[in-house]
Amino acid sequence: MTPPALRVGNASGFYGDRRAAVREMLEGGPLDVLTGDYLAELTMLILGRDRARDASRGYARTFLAQLEECLGLARDRGVRLVVNAGGTNPAGLADAVRALADRLGVPTAVAHVEGDDLLPRAAELGFGEPITANAYLGAFGIAECLRAGADVVVTGRVTDASLVVGPGIAHFGWGREDHDAIAGAMACGHVLECGTQATGGNLSAFDEHPLEQLLHPGFPLAELRADGSSVITKHPGTGGVVDVDTVTAQLLYEITGARYAGPDAVARFDTVRLTPDGPDRVLLDGVRGEAPPPDVKVCLNALGGHRNEVTFVLTGDRIEAKAALARAQFEAALDPRPAELVWSTVGVQRPDADTEAGASVLLRAQATDPVAEVVGRAFSGAAVEMALASYPGFHLTAPPGSGSAYGVYAPAYVPQTAVPHVAVLPDGSRVDIPPPAVTAPLADLPAVPATSVEPGPTRRAPLGAVARARSGDKGGTANVGLWARTDEGAAWLAAALTPDVVRELLPEAADLPVTVHPLPNLRAVDVVVEGLLGQGVAASTRFDPQGKAVGEWLRGREMDIPEALL
């Protein structure tokens, strides 16, 4: 007999997400499992430095605060919790959860997954001297904990999708060879992992929905089925919207092509089907899976140096001349000069604006250097000392600070056989999770034949007249998912948006490697721009260090678009 669908919800998309979400999800309707994603590359750096200062820390403390309010509610409703809030210290968080449960008088079986922390072996593995080194574990350790009766499962750095795949394995009994089912759950987990981004948050087409509907989007949930298919939805009566548009947006977020690789399987995103299934319901099915790669990804964070910034305000006319004077004075006063000094401007000259802010342009100087003192008081002092000696109207947005250290993220890869994966069960027993017996190297997919597009008259218009977008980051790489509303629009998009055209539309990418991956099932293309974000969010001097708005910038750029699509 086929087990019933598993109702899996999400209550966190990042460390700092809506604190009330756990309660909202528990009270909003029936659930079997509630997940929470608290980790990103930058978060691992933050938690790694936290643990370096205090060995008992290194986990997402906000989860404990949420649990203090809601642990009793979760137990009363029979909802099991699976979270990666353990960060760099999952054992420490598991102990803290047990202590909290004892203090609250709520009997709770707590388990955790460990083995991802490779920092003690960094030199052996050739990683240098990072601050953190964490492998992306799969879902079978989570499943082992759930099968042992855990009410709360805490992990460190597992793949985001594993928070959903693990409960699926435990509930449906999937084995290592069930690649299609696991891949379907991976796609489902990818949709849920960023919380309200699947229910209308950060949506390109936000203006097509009533403002009131988007004020407080509900968090998403999925009805996961035995074959790995799922229905993406949300609790009745909550804000936001779930439709093919919102699910497509999240599927395309922070991917690097049609193959979505994890340690348990590879999900083929070019096989995903999305079908409306009623109000606020989208069926996600058809996902094909493949054997996982032999290597597992490792998140490395190392100290990159020190940074500081100052922002000058230029008001009225002669903006270029004022900027030139400010730059020349400031740079002349820097001794020594920082290793990297990057200037950028925000805004355009509008001397006749009806507010002073509207008539102002921001001139931003960002500096990085291996030596803290170079970007510390000397840097800040050089700006402050210009106050009575520079361009007319001189002022800063804020007093410059003393600078701060920054980290650099880099991916590494090691054989799955070199990474321990241990489930620590509620009774304290430890179970080693073996790596997959069958793996396969990732290979490029065959090129998708271009669909012929009927020639016809064109008109100059923004790309956004045809395409919607969602963009994000993977270290220093930016990805932009673009999708069309119609088959005709999708065919034109796939044919027109070549790497060279992307470089023309995004001048900042003119000299960078660009790849465009067609995803016809989603009426989409996935654009990957390597190096656009420098060394990643913690080190980037770019105006938008995580590439969150690259998609909207690209939508605003003009192209010759067939009038039939407009």
> What are 21-31's pLDDT values in tens digits?
999 999 999 99
Whole-number Å distance between alpha carbons of 200 and 384 = 43
Whole-number Å distance between alpha carbons of 477 and 364 = 23
Whole-number Å distance between alpha carbons of 490 and 88 = 42
Domain ranges of the chain: 6-299+412-432, 302-408, 458-565
DSSP H/E element including 308: strand 295-315
Check if CATH label 4.10.280 holds for domain 302-408.
Answer: no
Whole-number Å distance between alpha carbons of 184 and 222 = 12
Strand segments (E) across 169-261: 220-224, 230-234, 259-261
Low-confidence ranges of the chain (pLDDT < 70): 450, 452
Tokens of 386: 């210009």
Collect all residues with Cβ–Cβ distance below 8 Å to 331 and sequence separation of at least 6.
337, 341
- Identify whether the C-beta of residue 225 lies closer than 8 Å to the C-beta of residue 269: no
Whole-number Å distance between alpha carbons of 274 and 454 = 27
- Quote the pTM value: 0.95
Q: What is 23-40 written as a DSSP string?
A: HHHHHHS--SEEEE----
Q: Left (φ > 0), alpha (ψ -120 to 50) or beta: where does 337 sit?
A: beta
Q: How many residues does the chain have?
A: 566
- 347 burial type by CB count under 10 A (0-12 exposed, 13-18 middle, 19+ buried): middle
From the list 261, 373, 395, the residue with the least C-alpha distance to 307 is 373
DSSP H/E element including 483: strand 477-484
* Confidence at residue 450, expressed as pLDDT on a 0 to 100 scale: 67
* Confidence at residue 37, expressed as pLDDT on a 0 to 100 scale: 98
